[in-house]
C-alpha cells in the first residue's frame, strides 16, 4: 500500500523548516527580495529558499571543485553553490538572459565569489557540448531550465560527471502534474524524463519531495 508520511506543508510548518535550516545570508536575502519585487511574474523560477542551503550542503558533501549549472535566472542557486566552493573552485552557469543574470552578477560580486563563477550567455545545449569531454571532470551539476531539453542536458552532463559526482535536477514533480498520464507540455516532458533517469544504468537516483521535486543522481563507477 502506498501512503505518505509527509505532513501537510502549511505556511507555519514551512516557516519552521526554514528556521531549522541555515538562514540565507544578507546577500542571498537581498537577492530573493530583488527578484520578487522586480520580476514578480517570473519569480517562481528562483530556487526555493530551502534549496539554497541544500545545494551548498551537497557541494561540501561531495567535495565539489567543478560545478556546471543549467539555468541561472537571477543567480541564487549559483551564489549558494559558489559560496560553498573552495577558493580555487569554479562554477560554469548557463543562461540566455543578460537582464536576469545581471542581477546575479551584482550579488556574486557583493558576496565576494564572482571570481568563482563563469557565466556563459547563449543556448545551454551549445555551451554544454563545447565543454571538455575527453574525461569525466564535473563534480556536481544543477539543472533548472527549460523542461523539454532536460534529456539533452542530461546526456551531455552524465558523460562528463566523475564517478561519485552528482547531478541535481529541479522541478521533477512539476506541480504534481507528473502523475497525470494525460499531462502535456512541460509536465509531460518531465514525466518522460523521469523515466529516462530511472532507466539509466550509469547512475543511481532518488526523487525527493523537496520544493517542486528534486532528483539527485550519483554517477556510478
| Model pLDDT for residues 32-91, shown as the tens digit of each residue | 999 999 999 999 999 999 999 999 999 999 999 999 999 999 999 999 999 999 999 999
Residue 1 in domain? no
- Considering the chain, what is the average pLDDT of its residues? 97
* pLDDT of 160 higher than 70: yes
Residue 4 in domain? no
Question: Which domain, by its residues, includes 144?
Answer: 11-219
Residue 3 pLDDT: 86
Q: Which residues of 27-48 are buried (b: 16+ CB within 10 A; e: fewer)?
A: bbeebbeebeeebeeeeebbbb
Residue 36 in domain? yes
Residue 1 pLDDT: 67
Calculate mean pLDDT across residues 92-105: 98
Residue 51 sits in a domain whose CATH number is 3.40.50.150
Residue 34 pLDDT: 97
Number of domains in the chain: 1
What is the chain's Cα-based Rg?
17
* pLDDT of 2 higher than 90: no
Residue 74 in domain? yes
* Alpha carbon distances (Å) from 123 to 41, 94, 130, 190: 23, 8, 11, 20
Residue 6 in domain? no
Residue 173 pLDDT: 98
Residue 5 in domain? no
Residue 178 in domain? yes
How does pLDDT run across 168-185, given as a tens digit for each residue? Answer: 999 999 999 999 999 999
Whether the CB-CB separation of 151 and 196 falls below 8 Å is answered with yes
Per-residue confidence band for 142, with pLDDT thresholds at 50, 70 and 90? very high
* pLDDT of 98 higher than 90: yes
Amino acid at each position: 500500500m502506498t501512503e505518505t508520511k509527509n505532513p501537510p506543508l502549511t505556511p507555519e510548518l514551512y516557516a519552521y523548516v526554514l528556521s531549522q535550516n541555515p538562514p540565507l545570508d544578507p546577500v542571498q536575502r537581498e537577492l530573493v527580495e530583488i527578484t520578487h519585487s522586480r520580476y514578480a511574474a517570473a519569480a517562481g523560477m528562483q530556487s526555493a529558499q530551502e534549496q539554497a542551503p541544500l545545494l551548498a550542503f551537497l557541494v561540501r558533501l561531495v567535495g565539489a571543485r567543478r560545478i556546471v549549472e543549467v539555468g541561472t535566472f537571477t543567480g541564487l542557486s549559483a551564489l549558494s553553490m559558489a559560496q560553498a566552493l573552495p577558493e580555487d573552485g569554479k562554477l560554469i552557469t548557463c543562461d540566455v538572459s543578460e537582464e536576469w543574470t545581471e542581477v546575479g552578477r551584482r550579488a556574486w560580486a557583493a558576496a565576494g565569489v564572482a571570481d568563482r563563477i563563469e557565466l556563459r550567455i547563449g543556448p545551454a545545449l551549445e555551451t554544454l557540448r563545447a565543454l571538455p569531454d575527453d574525461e569525466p571532470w564535473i563534480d556536481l551539476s544543477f539543472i533548472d531550465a527549460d523542461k523539454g531539453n532536460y534529456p539533452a542536458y542530461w546526456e551531455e552532463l552524465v558523460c562528463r560527471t566523475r564517478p561519485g559526482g552528482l547531478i541535481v535536477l529541479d522541478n521533477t514533480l512539476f506541480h504534481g502534474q507528473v502523475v497525470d498520464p494525460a499531462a502535456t507540455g512541460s509536465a509531460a516532458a518531465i514525466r518522460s524524463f523521469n523515466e529516462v533517469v530511472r532507466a539509466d544504468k550509469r547512475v543511481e537516483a532518488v526523487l525527493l519531495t523537496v520544493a517542486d521535486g528534486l532528483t539527485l543522481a550519483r554517477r556510478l563507477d
